Amino acid sequence: MSALAASASKPPRSWTLRVGLVLVALHLAVALLTLVWTPYDPTELAGRRLEGPSLLHLAGTDRLGRDLLTQMMIGSRIALLVGTGAVAVGALVGVTLGILAAFASRWLDDALAAALDIMIAFPTLLIAMLVVAVSESASLFTAVLALGLGLSAIFARLTRILAKRVIVLDFVTAACTCGTSWPGIVFGHVLPNIWPQLSVAFALQFGLAVIAEASLSYLGLGAPPPNASWGRLLQEAQGTVFTAPLGAVLPGLALVSLVIGINLLADGLRERSDPRQAGR
């Protein structure tokens, strides 16, 4: 009986979590590798234009003669950097607003909730485009800031809903009765109890941030050259997709594999936080 009880208490083994971790870890390993080594310099015209795969250029070259494998590796670093930065900015702003709304008076809570609903009505990509347009300069920092602000409303609304469920529970009421300070309640009781759900949301929005960054770069509003974003590689390869298809296929596959890995990771985290989801 004790063995059965021990096995029942263990979190479910999730193949989605394992596969997601492998895919994300592969991209992370490539991104870290680019910090110390790449086959060629990203700006070097290392061969003829639109060469096919060879021993010198395993993935061929692009329309300018740059090594495509090098560009792809740099793209992994850009995608992970932008995704991590956007989620960090969105989480910092959104969780703070959500906690404030949950503890605010009713009229202020209603006002913040209405403002969040209006922001969520606008697509994250559209908000990011507006922020980039206002800044009048496309850069990696601008893309991170724009996407983070776009995600903040989603995180704020989720945090508000989850926090309002927790603050009415008995142990929070007991903590208030004992004289626990407001920061003590937030960091000691509220955030630890809503963190599993927030972590799933962070993982899901990370994938959306990666896609949004690629979209911004495709439109010329993302990280400027020599940053080899996958979106910019797709934009540059659209005119040669029939003569040199690898220039479009490889960035697309890289983008899809990273987003699938992140979504599987999020599903695995959801299953671990709520075992009832494991059988669905």
DSSP-derived secondary structure letter, 238 = G
What mean pLDDT do residues 174-194 have? 86
In this prediction, residue 85 carries a pLDDT of 95
| CB-based contacts of 66, cutoff 8 Å, min separation 6 | 40, 42, 43, 44, 45, 46
What mean pLDDT do residues 8-37 have? 83
Task: Tokens 């300018």: give the residue.
Answer: 64
Kindly list the structural domains of the chain, giving each domain's residue range(s) and its CATH number in brackets, ordered by start.
Answer: 15-31+66-277 (1.10.3720.10)
What mean pLDDT do residues 169-186 have? 84
DSSP-derived secondary structure letter, 12 = P
What mean pLDDT do residues 249-277 have? 86
Mean pLDDT of the chain: 86
Task: Tokens 């005119």: give the residue.
Answer: 239
Residue 221: count other Cβ atoms within 10 Å of its Cβ: 22
In this prediction, residue 76 carries a pLDDT of 94
Residue 17: pLDDT band (50, 70, 90) is: confident
**Is it the case that residue 11 has pLDDT exceeding 60?**
no
In this prediction, residue 95 carries a pLDDT of 95
21 φψ region: left (φ > 0), alpha (ψ -120 to 50), beta (else): alpha
For 63-113, what is each residue's pLDDT tens digit? 888 999 999 999 999 999 999 999 999 999 999 999 999 988 888 888 888
In this prediction, residue 7 carries a pLDDT of 44
- Which range (9-23, 65-79, 135-149, 175-189) has the least confidence? 9-23
In this prediction, residue 10 carries a pLDDT of 47
What mean pLDDT do residues 247-261 have? 95
In this prediction, residue 169 carries a pLDDT of 86
